[in-house]
Chain A
Amino acid sequence: MERRDREDRRGSETRPGVDKRANRTILVRTIALMLAFGVVLFIPLFVQLYAIQIRDYKFYQEKAIGQQTRDNAVAANRGEISDCNGKVLAVSATVYDIIISPNDFKTVQENWDDRKEKGKTPDYARPEADVVAVKLGAILDKDPERILKALGKHSKYEVVGVRGEQEVAEEVRQLIRDLHLSNSVYPVPTSKRYYTYGSLASQLIGWVNWKNDNKGAWGMEALYEDSLAGKTGRIVTARDSKGAEMRYFFQDYYDATDGNNLNLTIDTTIQYYCERVLEKGIEMFDVQDGGFVIAMDPKTGAIKAWANSPTYDLNDPWTVTDPVLLEYLETVNAKLVEKGEVSEEEKKTAYNKALGDMQNRQWRNKAMNDTYEPGSTFKSMVLAAALEEGVVNENSSFYCPGYYKVGEFNIECSKKAPGHGQQDLAKAVANSCNPAFMMIGQALGPEKFYNYLEDFGFLEKTGIDMQGEGKSVVWDRKTFVAPGVKENAYLATASFGQRFQVTPIQLITAASAVVNGGHLMQPYVMKSITDDQGNVITQTEPTEIRQVISEETSRRCRTILEGVVDGGTGKRAYVPGYRIGGKTGSSETVKEAKEDPIISRGQDYTIVSFLGFAPADDPQIVVLLAYNAPKPVSPGSNYTAKQHYISGGNMAAVMAGELLSNILDYMGVEKLYTEEERTMIDVTVPNLVGQTADIGKSAAESAGFSIRTVGEGDTVTAQIPVGGAIIPSGSKIVLYLGAEKPTDLVTVPDVRGQTAQGAQESLAMFGLYLKIGGSSRYMSSKALVAGQSVAIGTEVERGTVVECTFVDNTLVD
């Protein structure tokens, strides 16, 4: 180009040539412009449009939609939680938060002033902040000062009341109409969870936290949050930049999907029994650190009840109600009050920390989160393993001198020298003899022993559908099977359930396998999830993890374990009519590095427990209950202040008997009495006066009584005892057939110290009747009369029923 320009100028004299060249320049340069402006410049535009509209489409579209739409959430109804019989445990309902908008309140006032200025004073009073505060405060039960303060803020959203019932919302709406507050005060619907049974199964059910968007915070509520919560619906409205509804545009409605219902395997009635027995035991035995009860269907692994103590009310989870925890909080508070030099702020922080600790303690599901030394209850599994492996049988004999020598250690039996002496296998189990079990452990050998630890599921989590299952603390195989002296001690202590820790749920799962025919079942709590129409969405099928022992071994174990209750350490769990098997446990605890604020572990911290199942021939329920740390009357003592011997047999077994009796009654398990027991069953005496002699006799006999007749008449004229009295069925009643009923009084004899049999005979001599009273359901030959309902020496009518209480003072572990 440059060259051509120069030529142009040089040849300025030759016009046609110059013109031609100039025209050529215009031509070439115009074509260059055409390419530049008509093509090249457009390329970046196409590229940029592609980048914005295709490559980054998602990004811009979301941003645009975000500013163009207003999302209004449509709350989904949270599903219900029910027990296995369909009893509702948790249900949601609508409640209202009360919101005020101080900015809008000012506008309301300004509008009033405006109208007044224009001469159109409204026919209602000017809405004043203090009036609103007082009236609203009265409805919401809040301090008017606080509401007044909120009204003074520069804000559009101040929450003044939370979770008010429908009636509260209605009152607030009325107030809004009365005072003409328009949109400066309004109720906002939200959801509240109601727990029908309050504290029932609280750690298991868990609760929703309204402070966190009504999401499940603990337990089943948290674990099945996704199923229960449902899907929040949305109303999406297109809005212009000022928030007004966009012209000619869309409104989309996405339906809220209600949550599904959760049906648990829990049975409310059994749960109630478990909690009652837990509370009762805690009070009776001065238990310092709560306890737990688990009830399980051994055939399926379904959890029937799950009780923890300390517990709390699900409807008010932040409040501490347990007496032990409250006492601790009071001591903390008292200490803080004493401290003079600390500021109020710090005191509050310290107290809140203690409160938080206690809240966590009551929320905690210790029957699964925590591990403990199972103690003698673990012997059930050792027994099963030894029988399965054939290293012992019912004829094996063990000699217990009160201790057992492992290497250079002497490990003592709970019954110190002279010990249990010679005993067969059943007896050794019934005695819960540690030396015998150490011998059994030795017979098994560490390898096999460890295999069974593994097979019974003690090395892994059970996989129960609950949150935060703890992990057992067990030696690894290499350590356990090593041939050293110390290692032998591991095997020895493990044989009677000490020096390792498992979770209660692991223990009861393994125990179920021992008695149900050897099947290790996966425990579960969710029975099914159903939609609001009742259609099943998912349900849990019982899952067998593995068969650990044979059906036959299981049967033999049941027989031997039944012997524990029938005269062994677990005899206090005996319930006439029911065949109960079980195993007691009393485990001492090891001091922990981190000191507990309420009670420290160590020598005086004993966990007394009982593992029970019934009926022994075909178990339908397995229970595991434990009380943590009954308080000794003095440090080192084996007795509580109320003279209860601290042991599984003397504490947990008693409670287990009551519990199993309740549960079996509820489940409708038929009672089968032994001949001896039958005579001790309480029966109501029928009223036979006026009947013929024959009918009277047969009626009395069919009720189980034996009969003595006095007189020769055809009709019963009188009877002893009178109709309606409740006496043991083995008693003899007297029918008077026309003969005079003696009206003389008899003196009540002293039967204390006698056995039931003896007492009954002594009383009968005076024409009196014995009734076995109190909580003593068991009747062993060792139980003696401790008290009688009618004082000694009292003159009473013949036929009077004397209720006697029995005490068995034998100590069992």
Chain B
Amino acid sequence: MIRGKIAFASGMLVALAGGWLAFPRILYQTRLQPVDFSHKVHAEKAGAKCEDCHSFRDDGTYAGIPTLDKCSGCHAAAMGTTAAEKTFIDQYVTPNREPQWLSYARQPENVYFSHVSHVKLGQVKCERCHGNEGGTGALRPYQQDPISGYSRDIWGRPVNRIGLRTEGGMKMDDCVNCHRRQGLEYSCMGCHK
């Protein structure tokens, strides 16, 4: 009988260990960004601010991750000596090929998020939701959930979402919680399309 209890308990232990320790590690697959881009270099050496590349257009839409023409504007020829820049120019600028950047914050197709409403009207800073990307020397590895196809940033780093601050995730609950905290009226179609 005690054997039985041990069997049960050991099964439970294995499952708990697997679920809490192993699962988060194996759930995500890591992919590399196409170019080894350094925000820090551009902020310091080029004196660029966030809005220089991640800008708003006249109609309020957000340019998001800049397209190749933004980069080619300066990098038509090598501006530094790094191998990463050389690779970039050879593989993307010269053949005029768009780098397939992996977007950490990519939402499902049916989500409508207006950057300009949050940045201009809501006075929300970029770092609040995206973290301090601008100060990093290299882009963080892109961790993707292979089943759903979304980045880890959407769910939030902890798999169980315990201890996650609102801005640490980008699921609908996180948006709704922040809107509630700010006392803003919201409707389904305000954020869906």
Asked if A and B are interacting partners, one says no
Interface residues of B (CB under 8 A from A): none
